[in-house]
Amino acid sequence: MMVRLLASFFGLGYLPFAPGTWGTLGGVLIYFLEGNLFFWWKLLILIIIFFIGIWVADLADRSWGTHDNGKIVIDEVAGYLVGVIIFSFTWQRAIGAFFLFRFFDVLKIPPANIADKKIGGGFGVMVDDTVSGIYTLIVMLFLFKFGVV
């Protein structure tokens, strides 16, 4: 029960229609709560979520007999947080990163698509969203440099 609760990020993965979008909103909440924490604290939070995600995604998928079940959204939370890790919180950044992350998460640009299909277990669940988060971070850096976010 606790594993599924964490894997679904406290039930967000059970919400109807586009659970990954709801999971990403969970990432926005964490980003908001982190506020202007120093980078190292944000990195520690991300690492903890990432490793808990590996563990609970693996156990939840085993219990459901699936791989990367749609109810598992802790990977979206972690991936989104990768995309905003170096930025202090503003709503403009939060919203911009939200749409960028969803774009990259749905599109699964290589190597995210390879990770999604070729890497098994909880690590495989977490890794493709981490790659999408890296793409988000790169675009956010460009947008920041040009004063957009």
The candidate with the shortest Cα–Cα distance to 2, out of 65, 87, 59, is: 59
Which pLDDT belongs to residue 40?
97
What is the pLDDT averaged over residues 11-30? 96
pLDDT score recorded for residue 115? 79
Domain map (residue ranges) of the chain? 33-145
* pLDDT tops 90 at residue 77: yes
pLDDT score of 97 more than 90: yes
pLDDT for 116 equals 75
- 107 vs 104: CA distance, rounded Å: 5
List b or e across 22-54, with b for residues whose CB sees 16 or more CB atoms inside 10 angstroms.
bbbbbbbbbbeebeeeeeeebeebbeebbebbb
CB 149 within 8 A of CB 89: no
The model's pTM is: 0.96
